[in-house]
Structure 1
Amino acid sequence: MKIIRSKSFTGDRAWAALDIANMNGITTRLHWTDQPYKWHVNDGQEVFVVLDGQVQMRYRENGVEQATLLEVGDIFYAAVGTEHVAHPQGAARVLVIETQGSV
């Protein structure tokens, strides 16, 4: 049993992570960041949930870059092959569920 107070989690660097669970190769991690990630494509599907702050999610569909602002409670689902990058607007905490070892 584990209780995690996400609002109190901070990292010593951007995209610092707290491992919450690994269920048959699917990881659930809490991230703290105040810096953008990098453009990437995950090895599998990804679920990205904003718990605190705002994150501008940029993604490419058919070679065209698009962006949407994710607020607290919003969920971004990246299917296999979805190129994307998260740009927090200040500090943010996000829950990421993805295949273990994914970028």
Structure 2
Amino acid sequence: MQFVDADTYTAERPWGALDITEIDGATVRLHWTDQPYIWHVNDGPEVFVVLDGAVDMHFRVDGKEHVESLSPGRICFAEPGDEHVAHPAPAARILVIERKGSV
């Protein structure tokens, strides 16, 4: 068994991750960050769960930018092809489940 205290995890760099497990080709990772990620499009589905802190999820629909605020317990599901970028406010711990090697 493995137990993780997400509320105390801190990485050495923004978006650093603790690999928790791999399930049927999907990774389950705990990320810590105090910096935005980069605009990107995943090549597979992604489940993004804020565990601690807050995140403003910026995403584009038909070229128009939108922002959704995520607080602890709020879940974001990005389908393949969804363009998005996460901005922590000011720092966050995030559980991400996605296909292994997904960009």
Range of TM-score over shorter length: over 0.9
TM-score, normalised via structure 2 length: 0.98
CA RMSD between the two structures: 0.6
TM-score, normalised via structure 1 length: 0.98
In the alignment of these two chains, the number of paired residues is 103
What does the per-residue CA deviation read over 1:63-83, in whole Å, with 9 as the maximum and x for residues that have no partner?
111001101100000011100
After superposing on structure 2, the runs of 4+ consecutive aligned residues of structure 1 that deviate more than 3 Å are none
Letter in 2 for 1:10: T
Tell me which residue corresponds to 2:57.
57
- 1:76-87 to 2 correspondence within 5 Å? 76-87=76-87
Letter in 2 for 1:42: N
Return the structure number with greater strand share: 2
C-alpha distance in 2, partners of 1:65/1:87? Answer: 14
Letter in 2 for 1:62: D
Tell me which residue corresponds to 1:102.
102
Tell me which residue corresponds to 2:22.
22
C-alpha distance in 2, partners of 1:28/1:79? Answer: 17
**Identity, % of aligned positions:** 57
Tell me which residue corresponds to 2:36.
36
Q: How far did residue 24 of structure 1 move?
A: 1.7
